Amino acid sequence: MRPDGKTAPSDLQLKIVLHGTRPPLWRRLVMPSDTSLRTLHDAIQLAFGWHGGHLHLFTDEFGRGYGDAARLTDVDLGLGRGVGDEGATALGDVLAGEWARLRYVYDFGDDWEHGITLEKALPRPVGAGRTVRCVGGRRADVPAEDIGGVWGLAEVLELLDTPDGAGDGPYGELVAELRATGYDKAAFEREAITARLAQLTPDTVSGHAKPPTGARAGHGGVRRLTAEDVALCTCGQCGVGGPVDAGVDEPAEDVPVLRPVILAPQEDLVAAVRGVPLFDAALRLAAWCHEGRQVTAGRVLRPALAREAVEKLQLWKLADDDSPYADAVARARALKSVRSAKDVAVLDDPWWLAVDSGMITISGGRAWGGAATDVAGEGLLAFWAATLGDLLEEVGETGVLDEWHGELGELTAQIADGLVGLLYDAPDDAWVDVDDLRAQAREAGVHGPEFDLFQALVAASFRELGKALALLGAVECEPGDGDDSAEETVLTLLNAMAGQESEGGWGSSTAASNRPWGDRRGHRMRLTPLGRYGLRAYLMECGVPAPLLGEYAEADAGSLLQGLLSYSPEEMRREVEGWLEHRSAADAAVGLLDACAGAGHEAAAKRAVAQRVLADLDEPRALRVLRKAADSDVEGCRQVAAAALYARLGTEAPVDPARAEAAGLWLLIDGLSILAGAGETEELVRGLLENGNTAPEALEQRVDDLWRVEHPATAHVLAELAEGLRGVDRQLAKRMRTTANKAHSRR
What is the tens place of the pLDDT at every residue in 99-128? 788 999 999 888 899 989 888 888 776 666
Are 224 and 363 within one domain? no
Q: Please write the tens of the pLDDT for every residue from 28-43.
A: 899 999 999 999 999 9
Q: What is the pLDDT of residue 73?
A: 59
Residue 537: pLDDT band with limits 50, 70, 90: confident
Q: What are phi and psi of 223, to 5 degrees?
A: -105, 150
Q: Is residue 340 part of a domain?
A: yes
Whether residue 338 contacts residue 282, with contact meaning beta carbons closer than 8 Å, is answered with no
Are 428 and 572 within one domain? no
Give the range among 253-267, 455-469, 521-535 with minimum mean pLDDT: 253-267
Residue 552: pLDDT band with limits 50, 70, 90: confident
Q: Which pairing describes strands 366-369 and 293-294: parallel, antiparallel, or unpaired?
A: antiparallel
- What count of other Cβ atoms lies within 10 Å of the Cβ of residue 252? 8
Q: What is the pLDDT of residue 660?
A: 79
Closest to 82 measured CA to CA, from 100, 57, 106, 102: 57
- Is the pLDDT reported for residue 444 higher than 90? no
Q: Please write the tens of the pLDDT for every residue from 400-441.
A: 776 665 667 777 888 888 888 889 988 888 999 988 887 776
Residue 217: pLDDT band with limits 50, 70, 90: very low
SS3 content of the chain, % helix, strand, coil (to 5): 50, 10, 40
Give the range among 10-14, 197-201, 316-320 with minimum mean pLDDT: 316-320
DSSP one-letter code for 248: S
- CA dist 612 and 643 (Å) reads 10
Are 96 and 234 within one domain? yes
Q: Please write the tens of the pLDDT for every residue from 626-653.
A: 889 988 888 889 888 888 887 766 555 5
Are 40 and 112 within one domain? yes
Residue 222: pLDDT band with limits 50, 70, 90: very low
Are 483 and 526 within one domain? yes
Question: Which of 335, 369, 403 marks a domain boundary?
Answer: 369
Are 442 and 523 within one domain? yes
Are 610 and 706 within one domain? no
Range of the domain at 611: 551-655
Question: Which of 627, 655, 683 marks a domain boundary?
Answer: 655
Q: Please write the tens of the pLDDT for every residue from 370-382.
A: 755 556 667 788 8
204: CATH: 3.10.290.30
Q: Is residue 281 part of a domain?
A: no
Q: Is residue 113 part of a domain?
A: yes
What is the H or E stretch that residue 122 is in?
A: strand 112-123
Q: Is residue 376 part of a domain?
A: no
- Is the pLDDT reported for residue 239 higher than 80? no
Are 124 and 193 within one domain? yes
- Is the pLDDT reported for residue 90 higher than 60? yes
Q: What is the pLDDT of residue 101?
A: 83
- What count of other Cβ atoms lies within 10 Å of the Cβ of residue 699? 18
Q: What is the pTM of this model?
A: 0.61
Question: Which of 513, 540, 567 marks a domain boundary?
Answer: 540
What are the residue ranges of helices labelled H in 615-729? 620-630, 637-649, 657-672, 681-689, 696-702, 714-724
DSSP one-letter code for 337: T
Are 501 and 632 within one domain? no
Percent of all residues in the chain with a pLDDT value above 90, rounded to a whole number: 18
Find residue 477's DSSP bridge partners.
525
Residue 501: pLDDT band with limits 50, 70, 90: very low
Are 401 and 471 within one domain? yes
Mean pLDDT score, 567-595: 89
Q: Is residue 400 part of a domain?
A: yes
Our count of domains for the chain comes to: 5
Q: Is residue 149 part of a domain?
A: no
Are 192 and 299 within one domain? no
Give the range among 223-237, 274-288, 653-667, 707-721 with minimum mean pLDDT: 223-237
Q: Is residue 500 part of a domain?
A: yes
- CA dist 650 and 648 (Å) reads 6
Q: What is the pLDDT of residue 38?
A: 95
Are 89 and 14 within one domain? yes
Q: What is the pLDDT of residue 4?
A: 41
- CA dist 391 and 187 (Å) reads 17
Find residue 517's DSSP bridge partners.
none
Closest to 222 measured CA to CA, from 729, 677, 691, 600: 600
Q: Please write the tens of the pLDDT for every residue from 323-348.
A: 777 788 888 888 888 888 887 888 88
Residue 237: pLDDT band with limits 50, 70, 90: very low
- CA dist 458 and 451 (Å) reads 10
Q: What is the pLDDT of residue 235?
A: 39
Q: Please write the tens of the pLDDT for every residue from 122-169.
A: 877 666 688 999 988 888 999 999 999 988 998 888 888 777 655 667
Whether residue 309 contacts residue 349, with contact meaning beta carbons closer than 8 Å, is answered with no
- Is the pLDDT reported for residue 277 higher than 50? yes
Collapsed DSSP state (helix, strand, coil) of residue 85: strand
Collapsed DSSP state (helix, strand, coil) of residue 641: helix
What is the rounded average pLDDT for all residues in the chain?
A: 78
- CA dist 325 and 318 (Å) reads 9
Q: Is residue 152 part of a domain?
A: no
Instruction: Count CA atoms closer than 13 A to 61's CA, side-chain side.
Output: 17
Q: What is the pLDDT of residue 106?
A: 94
